[in-house]
Structure 1
Amino acid sequence: MNLTQQTILITGATSGIGLHLAGRLHQMGNQVIACGRNQQQLDQLAAEHAGISTYLGDITDEQQRQELADWATTHYPTLNIVINNAGIMQQVDLTQPIDPAKVMTELVTNLLAPIHLGGLFVKHLQEQSVAALVNVSSGLAFTPLASVPVYCATKAAMHSFSVSQRHQLRDTSVRVFEIIPPAVGTNLGHQDNYDNSKDQLMPMDDFINAVIDALQTDTYEAAIGAAEYLRQQRDAVFSQINP
């Protein structure tokens, strides 16, 4: 699909993949709407990329998801691409009693919110001649890292959901993409003291280049870098990443 002069909304756009993707898509001549929970980071993004629009909101809150959809479709009637990027990753010790509130936050952020947002935007997107829903899952959807089991489970569910969503929308103008990242140099898991220093991280610029290429070539299920190995060699890789 063409990635110039589109109107693109990105959740989780104040850090990591979302931040870099917002900047790149803006540079390519698109109207980018960056959504996040930190006003200071949104202001910094807008200052660095003149013309980017920002929206302060928390997608873990049902009412705020509805407000985001209402605001975006009202102020940007040409909105035609929604990128469900926001996500969190938390370590969970399954040998101990779990904190349901902690687990629920991960479930809502990584799974319920993108499912709900897709439903909120889908009617509007079908009214556009060319449109897309882009869901960000993970190579860990296919080969889980046992120390972050809920994260892996939500991303596996997001993969399965994307397959069904793509099938149901196959006769509409809405294309459904799934971007499957490998480990990339971001702050994912930082709030839970996850140490990614031992991970083989894909450089961010290389990853963003691969995402852009996948979208432009209509690669609807794009496993990028080492994520393709995680997808194809599940049993062999599991023992390697889970000593």
Structure 2
Amino acid sequence: MKMTGNTIFITGGGTGIGQGLAKAFHGLGNKVIIAGRRKAPLMETAEACPGMDCHEIDMRDPASIARVAEWLVKHHPRLNVLINNAGIMSGDKTGSVMDDQKTLATVETNLLGPMRMTSALIEHLKTRPEAAVVNVTSGLAFTPLAHSAVYSATKAALHSWTLSLRVRLKGTSVRALEIAPPWVQTDLMGGRDEPRAMKLDAFIKETMEKFASGADEILVDRVRMLRDNPGPDEWAFVEKFNGMMAL
């Protein structure tokens, strides 16, 4: 993906990884529009980056996604990059009685949200000479964390869907890319001060370097042990990993 001259829309762009990517791409001179549920962090981020735009969105609501997509095409017709970053994570009780509302919220936000957002914008993106859909998954897409089984499953599904999207977009001007972060110091699951997690600034710096390399999968070195695990003997590492991460 080219690193400059883009008009980029980032969901979940007011905090965490989304905010970090927004600031990094803005710093390279791209036009960046961020969106999320909460107005205050969106405004704070945009005000700190002159020229950045923002819009509220509910990734669980198809009507909200449709309205924002229509607004984007009307007010930012040069839009050529969609970064599906918005996501939620919580612990769950897989193996016991599940909280159905929490499960539904996670699936709608993390999986259906990116699918719907992409569907709403894909035909417009095809009109741009160099375009991309970037899905933010997780190292847990490849090695699940049993404490957050639903989150891990949504990210595995989004990875699979990204592979299919890449096949279906062959021959168009749109690339399907994937960022699979490791554990990063963000507010997700209260990890901002977690010493075992990767510092956000370091993650963004390395991720931008990987973007510039032209790879389809943007993988910082720290996530590779999770990414490389799937295979016929994957259970052994899944068991070991979850033993290390036991809360």
Give the TM interval when normalised to the shorter protein: over 0.9
Q: Secondary structure, in 3 states, of the residue corresponding to 1:182?
A: coil
Are 1:201 and 2:185 an aligned pair? Answer: no
Structure 1: which amino acid aligns with 2:156?
A
Q: Secondary structure, in 3 states, of the residue corresponding to 2:14?
A: coil
Q: Secondary structure, in 3 states, of the residue corresponding to 1:97?
A: coil
**Distance across 2 between alignment mates of 1:183 and 1:82:** 23
CA-to-aligned-CA distance 1:75-122 (integer Å, 9 cap, x gap)? 000000000000011111124311211100000110001011111111
Alpha carbons 1:32, 1:53 under 8 Å: kept: yes
**Distance across 1 between alignment mates of 2:195 and 2:103:** 24
Match of residue 224 from structure 2 = 228
Shift of 1:205: 1.8
Alpha carbons 1:214, 1:220 under 8 Å: kept: no
Match of residue 21 from structure 1 = 21
Aligned length: 239
**Distance across 1 between alignment mates of 2:193 and 2:79:** 38
Instruction: Give the 3 Å change call, closer, same or farther, for CA 198–15 of structure 1 in structure 2.
Output: closer
Alpha carbons 2:59, 2:109 under 8 Å: kept: yes
**Gaps in structure 2 of 5+ consecutive residues:** none
CA-to-aligned-CA distance 1:158-201 (integer Å, 9 cap, x gap)? 110000000110110001101010011011124xxxx6866621
Shift of 1:222: 2.2
Shift of 1:241: 2.4
**Distance across 1 between alignment mates of 2:199 and 2:123:** 36
Shift of 1:24: 1.0
Alpha carbons 2:7, 2:32 under 8 Å: kept: yes
Provide the identity percentage: 38
Q: Secondary structure, in 3 states, of the residue corresponding to 2:35?
A: strand
What is the root-mean-square deviation in Å for CA atoms of aligned residues? Answer: 1.5
Match of residue 138 from structure 1 = 138
Shift of 1:225: 2.7
**Distance across 1 between alignment mates of 2:192 and 2:19:** 19
**Distance across 1 between alignment mates of 2:79 and 2:24:** 18
Structure 2: which amino acid aligns with 1:122?
I
Match of residue 211 from structure 1 = 207
Are 1:113 and 2:109 an aligned pair? Answer: no
Structure 2: which amino acid aligns with 1:230?
L
**Distance across 2 between alignment mates of 1:142 and 1:163:** 14
- Report matched runs for 1:1-243 at 5 Å: 1-190=1-190, 200-234=196-230, 235=234, 236-243=236-243
**Gaps in structure 1 of 5+ consecutive residues:** none
